[in-house]
Amino acid sequence: MGFIAGCVILGMRVYDPRGMNLFLIWLNRWLTVWTAGFGVVSVILVVIASFFRGKFTWLAGILSLSALILLSMMQILPSVLQYTREFVYFGEAGISTNSMLRALGFTLGICVCLLLTLSAYKVHQSLNTATQGYLFMIISAVIYSAGYIVSSAAALQRLKVLRTSDSLMGVSVFDVMIWRDANPNAFLFAQLGLALAMLIFVIYTHVKPSRVYPNKALLRKEKARLRDCRRWSWSLCLWGIMAVFIVIVLHYYDTKPPEEVQPEPYEISDGIISIELAKVSDGHLHKFSYVTPNGYDVRFLVVKKPAGTAYGVGLDACDICGIAGYYERGNDEVVCRRCDVVMNKNTIGFKGGCNPVPFEYEVRSGKIYIDVKELEKHETRFK
């Protein structure tokens, strides 16, 4: 049911993104709050069911856990599936190496999640359900619920149910929000830490049979079971390490800001900047900087266009993304730092879209000439 509801929510977002945007934001925030609430209820009922083993308590625990899974799927699934609509970036061909690599990465990420889940389930199956299994399940549910409780504080504040100055168990809502933003993966690591403790416990307690068997066939069967338990434990360790590697290392390389293109030198005489064409004719992005009399650092770009002998000249800023600027990706892509849009080099120097803001310049005698007054007209952009 949660899977179907999540697909419906994604369909609503795709069908009418502008009309459904505010409603879906509101719904997502309330789903966070409801998930936190059902998480707390689930923990309480599972604890009660572990002490009072009646049909009613078990039924209540199962229903609350089912509701928790339903709400979690409703919230998580649309965001996961939304990535499938972002394999092709603006300005790229529908089928390209980059889009295929993104699709492959998405698929591998889902596979890691599924293999990590399967391994955790198999290791949990190895535990004594009546004692050890319940203990690990309750701790996992507590960690899961705590993560949503922290997120629900921010959700309730944005729903105007709570104020940033309100206190939750002696901690202000604002401080909770700050901590959540500074530690987005804290509860993920807590779950992986619990999984590590569980697999160590399973490996330690599943080394050899704990009792005597009447014949060798039963003994071999028990040894095979113990070996499978240890293998699933090592599998959980492997996929847990892979998850940490993805969340920390790959995420860092994926989100780290690109290296800044350093401004290059140029000649200036009588208020006229001159740049030799030979220095900017390699097809790469070249950045320059001019400090105005008022102290503004006006950055501008020059790049040779792939078609013909023309050059694209413009500010290192645009009307949409401000002074975020541009960087060069690979050998032939000029990309906006803020929105990640790939510029068509042939359109640099023209108005519109996320293109660098153009200004007047002149090309003659093997040089580009720029009057500094043209740059000073745009100095306030670079406050």
pLDDT in tens, 233-283: 999 999 999 999 998 898 888 777 667 778 888 888 888 888 888 888 888
The reply to whether 18 and 149 lie within a common domain is no
89 domain-assigned = no
The residue among 83, 107, 122 that closes a domain is 83
pLDDT in tens, 174-227: 888 888 888 888 998 999 999 899 888 888 888 888 778 788 888 888 888 889
The reply to whether 273 and 331 lie within a common domain is yes
The CATH number of residue 358's host domain is 2.102.10
**Dist. CA 60–CA 48, nearest whole Å:** 10
Using DSSP, state whether 217 is helix, strand or coil: helix
The residue among 230, 256, 282 that closes a domain is 256
Q: What's the pLDDT band for 331 if we cut at 50, 70, 90? A: low
93 domain-assigned = no
**Dist. CA 20–CA 23, nearest whole Å:** 5
- Could you give the count of Cα atoms lying within 13 Å of 22 in the half-sphere of its Cβ? 1
- Going from the C-alpha of 149 to that of each of 30, 34, 169, 341, the distances in angstroms are 12, 10, 12, 36
The reply to whether 346 and 312 lie within a common domain is yes
Question: What pLDDT shows up at residue 142?
Answer: 92
Q: What's the pLDDT band for 117 if we cut at 50, 70, 90? A: very high
Under DSSP, the state recorded for 271 is T
The residue among 83, 112, 129 that closes a domain is 83
pTM: 0.67
Number of independent structural domains in the chain: 3
The reply to whether 103 and 60 lie within a common domain is no
The reply to whether 63 and 129 lie within a common domain is no
Residues 6+ apart with CB under 8 A from 347: 312, 353, 355
Counts of helices then strands in the chain (DSSP H, E): 10, 12
Question: What pLDDT shows up at residue 241?
Answer: 92
Per the CB < 8 A criterion, the answer to whether 236 and 199 are in contact is yes
The reply to whether 354 and 272 lie within a common domain is yes
The reply to whether 126 and 197 lie within a common domain is yes
The reply to whether 322 and 240 lie within a common domain is no
Nearest-10 crossing angle of helices 55-82, 17-51? 150
The reply to whether 79 and 211 lie within a common domain is no
261 domain-assigned = no
Under DSSP, the state recorded for 298 is E
N residues, the chain = 383
The reply to whether 238 and 117 lie within a common domain is yes
**Dist. CA 338–CA 319, nearest whole Å:** 12
In the chain, the largest separation of any two C-alpha atoms, in whole Å, equals: 102
121 domain-assigned = yes
Query: What's the whole-number average pLDDT of the chain?
Result: 85
The DSSP bridge pattern shows strands 171-172 and 326-329 to be unpaired
The reply to whether 278 and 352 lie within a common domain is yes
281 domain-assigned = yes
The reply to whether 136 and 245 lie within a common domain is yes
2 domain-assigned = yes
Residue 345: CB atoms within 10 Å: 20
Q: Give which of 214, 199, 237, 200 is closest to 115, Cα–Cα.
A: 237
- Going from the C-alpha of 104 to that of each of 97, 157, 255, 292, 341, the distances in angstroms are 10, 38, 18, 48, 21
Domain residue limits at 21? 1-83
90 domain-assigned = no
Residues 6+ apart with CB under 8 A from 271: 371, 372, 373
> Hunting for tokens 């009792």 — which residue is that?
211
Per the CB < 8 A criterion, the answer to whether 148 and 67 are in contact is no
